[in-house]
Amino acid sequence: MDGLPEHPSRSSRHVRRLLLSLTAAISATVLIGGCSSGSEATVPESSTRAVVPKATNDLQSDYETVIRNVLPSVVQIEAGDNLGSGIVYDGKGHVITNAHVIDQTKSFLVTVATGEEPLPAKLVSSYPQQDLAVIRLDRVPAGLKPARFGDSAAVEVGQIVLAMGSPLGLSSSVTQGIVSGLGRTVTESASGGGTGATIGNMVQTSAAINPGNSGGALVNLDSEVIGIPTLAATDPQLGNSAAPGIGFAIPVSMVKTVADQIIKTGKVTHSGRAALGITARTVLDDNYQPSGAAVVDVEPGGPADKAGLRPGDIITRVGSARITTITSLAEALASDNPGDTVRVAYTRQGERRTTNVTLGEI
């Protein structure tokens, strides 16, 4: 999973695979180049220069401009044994990153684009529920450049994006892709340093996201940060190895919401995330298969309490989403907003019931 602590042998193995793939690609190119007719061709000198279409030149120029504008705002973060990335948020030395990058660490070393020597930094606050955190440099170096943040509402599927960060410890790396999807709900693993958070409205991208990219920048061609790369999908059929071309970034709207509150008050006071106001656990059926989320406790005066839910009730559906586990319950709520009203189906002592719940806030 993206953002796991670096391991030298694993990093070498990843790099070696990339080099082997590159060598194979070069070999294939040579073989294809040799599959011409048997006669030797004489190539005019003037034709040896590659003619690059103007459109290609324009796109390359756009890439180069974005990299010049944004890469100086992307930093590398050393948090104990963890290595990740971050984005300079303002001119006061605040840097935003993923909560799983900093883990339980309170002090860090940050390498900024304007200097070779790592700078000390300290934690302002972490918000694991959304896998975001803000740290602050002890000293603001000359020339520190805050990033420019975009608008989540303007992000569209098909937009070209660049991912910037320190994958496998290779600082100031850039990969390219497109926005592959919007509004994805993803649950992190709680193992290996993950927060276990369920995060809604994520941006799916084909830009490569590797260990070390966590906390970096997903950027559009207007040089605006539109998200923070956080997770790479894994394929259960391939031993949970990374699924190429499927990565997820926290949308910029949530990034700004969390960062602004942490910088202003030192904590998140308004999550913007919907909640039923219960604690729950996964319940199994007679075949030992997950079959619902059993209510363990109800917040007095909270949304579920007002809607008549009680401890012992088993929630089986929220809106159109079938609920089998507490994870599926969290995922069903992730795309809703506080104040929304949802239809909740549940069973009480074997009897099927439904109720409308006006959602509260985490």
Cα separation, 100 vs 103, whole angstroms? 5
Cβ-based neighbours of 26, under 8 Å, separated by 6 or more: none
- The amino acid sitting at 48 is T
214 tagged catalytic: yes
CA neighbours closer than 13 Å in the CB half-sphere of residue 56: 4
| Beta-bridge partner residues of 348 | 351
Write down the number of H helices and E strands in the chain: 6, 20
- The amino acid sitting at 340 is D
State both tokens at 96. 């935003």
* pLDDT score at 51: 57
Cβ-based neighbours of 210, under 8 Å, separated by 6 or more: 2, 14, 167, 168, 232, 242
State both tokens at 356. 């409308």
Regions of the chain short of the pLDDT cut 70:
1-56, 192, 238-239
Cβ-based neighbours of 108, under 8 Å, separated by 6 or more: 77, 78, 79, 102, 120, 121, 122, 123, 135
**Residue written as tokens 């159109």?**
320
Out of 94, 100, 126, 223, which one is annotated catalytic?
100
Out of 2, 103, 131, 336, which one is annotated catalytic?
131
SS3 347: strand
| Beta-bridge partner residues of 282 | 293
131 tagged catalytic: yes
Cα separation, 231 vs 247, whole angstroms? 6
Out of 73, 214, 291, 328, which one is annotated catalytic?
214
Helices (H), 71-118: 99-102
**Residue written as tokens 């990299």?**
67
Contact 273, 334 (CB under 8 A): yes
**Residue written as tokens 């030298």?**
8
State both tokens at 314. 């088993």
State both tokens at 353. 């019931």
Q: How far apart are the first and last CA of the chain?
A: 26
| Beta-bridge partner residues of 109 | 78, 120
Cα separation, 330 vs 275, whole angstroms? 9
100 tagged catalytic: yes
Dmax (CA) for the chain in angstroms is 86
Note the residue count of the chain.
Answer: 362
Contact 278, 316 (CB under 8 A): no
